[in-house]
Structure 1
Amino acid sequence: MTLLTDTIRTAETSRRFRAYTGKHLDELTARAGLGPAERLAARAVATVLPFRTNEYVVEHLIDWSAAPDDPIYRLVFPQPDMLPADDVARLSDLIARDAPKAELQAAAGAVRRRLNPHPAGQLELNVPRVDGAPIPGIQHKYPETVLFFPKQGQTCHAYCTYCFRWAQFIGEPDLKFASDDAAALVAYLRAHPEVTSVLLTGGDPMIMGEPVLRRYLEPLLELEQLESVRIGSKSLAYWPQRFVTDPDADATLRLFEQVTAAGKNLAFMAHFTHPREMEPALVRDAAARIASTGAVIRTQAPLIRGINDAPQTWARMWRGQLALGMVPYYMFVERDTGPRDYFAVPLARAHEVFRDAYAAVSGLCRTVRGPSMSATPGKVCVDGVAEIGGRKVFVLHFIQARDPGLVGRPFFAEYDERALWLTDLRPAFADRFPHQTA
Structure 2
Amino acid sequence: MNQAIKIIASDEALTKNTKFQVYTERQLDKIKPLQKLTEEQRFEMRVVANVLPFRVNQYVIDELIDWSDIPNDPIFQLTFPQRGMLYPEDYQRMADALQRDAERSEISVIANEIRQKLNPHPAGQQEMNVPTLDGEPLPGMQHKYRETVLFFPSQGQVCHSYCTFCFRWAQFIGDKELRFASNEAGSLHAYLAQNKDVTDVLITGGDPMVMKTHHLKGYLDGMLHPSLDHVQSIRIGTKSLTFWPQRYVTDPDADELLALFERLVKGGKHVALMAHFNHWREMETPIVREAIRRIRDTGVVIRAQAPVVKHINDDPAVWARMWDTQVRLGIIPYYMFVERDTGAKRYFEVPLIRTYEIYREAIKQVSGLARTARGPSMSAGPGKVEIQGVVEIAGEKVFALRFIQGRNPDWVQRIFFAKYDENATWFDDLKPALGEDKFFFSDEYDAMQAVAYDE
Specify if TM > 0.5. yes
Mapped partners of 2:440, 2:302: distance in 1: 33
Matched with 1:59 is: 62
Q: Secondary structure at the match of 2:128?
A: coil
**SS across alignment from 2:92:** helix
2:166 aligned residue (163, 168, 181): 163
The correspondence of residues 18-167 of structure 1 with structure 2, limited to 5 A, is 18-28=21-31, 31=34, 33-130=36-133, 133-167=136-170
Q: Which residue of 2 aligns with 1:417?
A: 422
1:266-345 matches, within 5 Å, as: 266-345=271-350
Contact 2:317-2:362 within 8 A present in 1 as well: yes
User: Superposed, which structure 2 residues align to 1:361-380 within 5 Å?
Assistant: 361-380=366-385
CA 1:268/1:258 → structure 2, altered by over 3 Å: closer, same or farther?
A: same
Q: Distance in 2 between matches of 1:12 and 1:163?
A: 30
> CA distance change for structure 1 residues 144 and 60 in 2, over 3 Å: closer, same or farther?
same
The residue that corresponds to 2:439 in the other structure is 433
Distance 1:184 1:365 in 2: 38
- CA distance in 2: counterparts of 1:170 and 1:32, whole angstroms: 26
- Contact kept in structure 2, 1:379 and 1:399, CA below 8 Å: yes
Corresponding residue for residue 386 of structure 1: 391
SS of 2:306 mapped into structure 1: strand
Q: Is the 2:280–2:318 contact (alpha carbons within 8 Å) kept by the matching residues of 1?
A: yes
Structure 1 length normalisation: TM-score?
Answer: 0.97
Q: 1:404-438 CA deviation, whole Å, 9 max, x = no partner?
A: 00100110000000001111001112221122018
Q: Give the drift of 1:12.
A: 4.1
| Structure 1: segments with no counterpart, 5+ residues | none
Q: CA deviation at 1:32?
A: 7.0
Counterpart contact for 1:128–1:134, Cα < 8 Å: yes
| Counterpart code for 1:75 | L
Please tell me the residue identity of whatever aligns with 1:404. P
Larger helix proportion of the pair: 2
Contact residue 14 and residue 246 of structure 1 kept, 8 A: no
Letter in 2 for 1:108: A
Q: Is the 8 A contact 2:29 2:35 kept in 1?
A: no
Q: Does the 8 A contact of 2:33 with 2:67 survive in 1?
A: no
In the TM superposition, what is the alpha-carbon distance from 1:92 to its structure 2 partner?
A: 1.4
Query: Where do 5+ consecutive residues of structure 2 fail to align?
Result: 445-455
Q: For residues 128 and 151 of structure 1, what CA distance do their matches in structure 2 show?
A: 17
Percent of aligned positions that are identical: 54
Pick from 353, 359, 367 the counterpart of residue 358 of structure 2. 353
1:377 maps to a residue whose letter is: P
**Is 1:370–1:382's contact at 8 Å kept on the other side of the alignment?**
yes
C-alpha displacement at 1:26, in angstroms?
A: 3.4
Amino acid in structure 1 at the alignment position of 2:413: G
Distance 1:12 1:293 in 2: 22
- Conservation of the 8 A alpha-carbon contact between 1:29 and 1:39: no
Is the 1:300–1:329 contact (alpha carbons within 8 Å) kept by the matching residues of 2? yes
CA distance in 2, matches of 1:376, 1:433: 13
The question of 1:172 aligning with 2:165 is answered: no
Q: What secondary structure sits across from 1:294 in the alignment? A: coil
- The separation in 1 between residues aligned to 2:142 and 2:396, in whole angstroms, is 39
8 Å contact from structure 2 (residues 23, 31) kept in 1: no
Contact residue 133 and residue 191 of structure 2 kept, 8 A: no
Two-structure CA RMSD over aligned residues (Å) = 1.7
Distance (Å, rounded) in 2 between the aligned partners of 1:268 and 1:261: 16
Deviation of 1:364 (Å) = 0.5
Judged with a 3 Å threshold, the aligned counterparts in structure 2 of structure 1 residues 155 and 326 are, in CA distance, closer, same or farther, namely same
Q: SS where residue 122 of structure 1 aligns? A: helix
Partners of 2:29 and 2:35 lie apart in 1 by 10
- Give the 3-state SS of the residue equivalent to 2:442 in structure 1: coil
Shift of 1:169: 0.5
Q: How far, CA to CA, are the matches of 1:221 and 1:306 in structure 2?
A: 43
- 1:433 maps to amino acid: F
Q: How many residues align?
A: 437
AA of the residue aligned to 1:410: I
8 Å Cα contact 2:278-2:306 kept in structure 1: yes
Q: 1:368-398, CA deviations, whole angstroms, 9 ceiling, x for partnerless residues?
A: 0000000000000000001111110000000
Amino acid at match of 1:296: V
SS in 1 for 2:144: strand
The residue type paired with residue 390 of structure 1 is: G
Query: Contact 1:94 / 1:104 at 8 angstroms: preserved in 2?
Result: yes
CA distance in structure 1 between the aligned counterparts of 2:29 and 2:121, rounded to whole angstroms: 29
2: CA distance between counterparts of 1:333 and 1:433?
20
- 1:26/1:43 contact within 8 Å kept: no
- Is 1:380–1:396's contact at 8 Å kept on the other side of the alignment? yes
Measure how far apart 1:260 and its partner are. 0.4
Equivalent residue for 2:242, pick from 234, 237, 243:
237
TM norm structure 2? 0.93
For the 8 Å contact 1:304–1:343, the answer to whether it is kept is: yes
- For the residues of structure 1 that align with 2:49 and 2:15, how far apart are their CA atoms? 29
8 Å contact from structure 1 (residues 267, 298) kept in 2: yes
Q: Which residue of 2 aligns with 1:191?
A: 194
CA distance in 2, matches of 1:132, 1:343: 40
Match for 2:263 among 232, 253, 258? 258
The alpha carbon displacement at 1:287 in A equals 0.5
Per-residue deviation, residues 306-333 of structure 1 (Å, max 9, x unmatched): 1100000000000000000000000000
Q: Deviations over 1:64-121 (max 9, x none)?
A: 0001111110100000111011211221121122111100100010000000000001
SS at 1:65 equivalent: helix
What is the Cα deviation at residue 136 of structure 1? 2.1
Distance 2:189 2:251 in 1: 29
